[in-house]
Amino acid sequence: MNSYKIAAIPGDGIGKEVIAAGVEVLQALAARYGGFKLDFESFDWGSDYYRKHGVMMPENGRETLKSFDAIYFGAVGAPDVPDHVTLWGLRLAICQPFDQYANVRPTRILPGIEGPLRNVAAKDLDWVIVRENSEGEYAGQGGRSHRGLPEEVATEVSIFTRAGVTRIMRFAFEVARSRPRKLLTVVTKSNAQRHGMVMWDEIAAEVAADYPDVTWDKMLVDAMTMRMTLKPQSLDTIVATNLHADILSDLAAALAGSLGIAPTANLNPERRFPSMFEPIHGSAFDITGKGIANPVGTFWTATMMLEHLGEKPAAERLMRAIERVTADPLLHTPDLGGSATTRQVTDAVIGAIHGDNV
Ligand code: NAD
Ligand code: MN
């Protein structure tokens, strides 16, 4: 029997609530179908840890994580700790050294969920956003001089390397090729950002030559927000920089119904390091502790983790169970206009797993 070691890092806020739900659902799935076993180890890293120890995770944290097959991550962010400390201290402190350079973000309108695009059928919105996850605007380069003085200057330097852009572009063309429509949209802002973004466009054209079966086009990021809203059916796979894709994927999630549904995988495609799976939302302190966080994004994320581990049938079964639950409006959490709790949705998904006869 295949057995996998999973590091669970719930982090902060509703991260703790949704990861607890996700672990329960995954254990129910493994128990129901057998065939594989999941060994979870949970790490209490995050803002509570920071308040006690002055760091978000211990110094040997990354070394510890290396031996795991995957990381199941909640969210970081607390009202009393600066966001750049929580983000760089934990999430990016894992993504960057583990070279998880491909961030994959599927978006679909799940059964029973009505997005704000009421005239758009669910089948017309089925996207995968590929986010460059290692450089660009989040390279961490820049600085501040004359702090606090009127002449203060702060720079935030975007770094794009030929190697980094080429590998994400190849990855995106591969994703596009694996999907029925074989359609890729390359997003930049190469009219205003005339160095890195122009190189993106050039590399896209070079890589495209190796994928004659993929139809591709280019969009500027501002116009892209309009196209996503007005012509969702014209898009399929999308590739964009770290910052642009971050913004576009929150829009995508909202168009599909809620940020609470959206999953993501931070992949190290070469598998030299563990990959990390998380819902795309943050710690949501406005609803923390209320028991109403939507766990669907965390469950969908689990299907991506299972697929990465090679357990495709289990991933498909879990997706079916999730869709059976979203189809029932009585099982929608408040972000979807319903009044169900995290507990009720979790129990319903576990129930659907047990009820599935396939
Ligand atoms: P957020 O994603 O936490 O919340 C945005 C809005 O969406 C809130 O109204 C929230 O209640 C709602 N929401 C999010 N997830 C939901 C869910 N599962 N169910 C129901 N409603 C949900 O973003 P924010 O408010 O901008 O940031 C809060 C904190 O999270 C900040 O500290 C931020 O830095 C951090 N953050 C972390 C990550 C991450 O860990 N990957 C991502 C984004 C934001
Ligand atoms: Mn984001």
For residue 314, which phi and psi values (nearest 5 degrees)? Answer: -65, -40
Q: How far is the CA of 237 from the CAs of 45, 169, 268, 357, in angstroms?
A: 34, 11, 19, 33
- 116-255 under CATH 3.40.718.10, yes or no: yes
**pTM exceeds 0.90 for this model:** yes
Tell me if 75 CB under 6 Å of ligand 1: yes
At 256, the pLDDT band (50, 70, 90 cuts) reads very high
What is the rounded CA–CA span in Å between residue 10 and residue 17? 8
3-state helix, strand, coil in the chain (%, to 5): 45, 25, 35
Nearest to 18 by CA among 290, 316, 266, 355: 290
Cβ–Cβ < 8 Å for 199, 165: yes
Residues 210-250 pLDDT 10s:
999 999 999 999 999 999 999 999 999 999 999 999 999 99
Per-residue pLDDT tens digits for 31-76 = 998 889 999 999 999 999 999 999 999 999 999 999 999 999 999 9
Say yes or no: CB of residue 224 within 6 Å of ligand 1. Answer: no
Distance from the CA of 209 to the center of ligand 2, in angstroms?
Answer: 32
The pLDDT-based confidence of 357 (bands split at 50, 70, 90) is: low
Give, using CA atoms, the residue closest to atom 33 of ligand 1. 77
- Give the closest residue (by CA) to ligand 1 atom 4: 284
pLDDT at position 119 over 90: no
- pLDDT category, 117, cuts 50, 70, 90? confident
| Count of CB atoms situated within 10 Å of the CB of 51 | 11
Query: Residue 173 pLDDT > 60, yes or no?
Result: yes
1-100+261-358: which CATH number, 2.130.10.10, 3.40.718.10, 3.40.50.620, 2.40.30.10? Answer: 3.40.718.10
So what's the pLDDT on residue 121?
86
Helix (H) or strand (E) holding 51: helix 47-53
pLDDT, mean of residues 16-29? 98
Burial 127-153 (b: 16+ CB within 10 A, else e): bbbbbbbbbbbbbeeeeeeeeeeeeee
What band does 116 get if pLDDT is binned at 50, 70 and 90? confident
Question: Which tokens hold the place of 202?
Answer: 């050039």
Q: Are 248 and 238 in contact (CB under 8 A)?
A: yes
The residue whose C-alpha atom lies closest to atom 26 belonging to ligand 1 is 282
Ligand approaching nearest to the C-alpha of 282:
1
Q: Which helix (H) or strand (E) holds 299?
A: helix 296-309
Beta strands 237-240 and 183-188: pairing type?
A: parallel
The boundaries of every CATH 3.40.718.10 domain in the chain are 1-100+261-358, 116-255
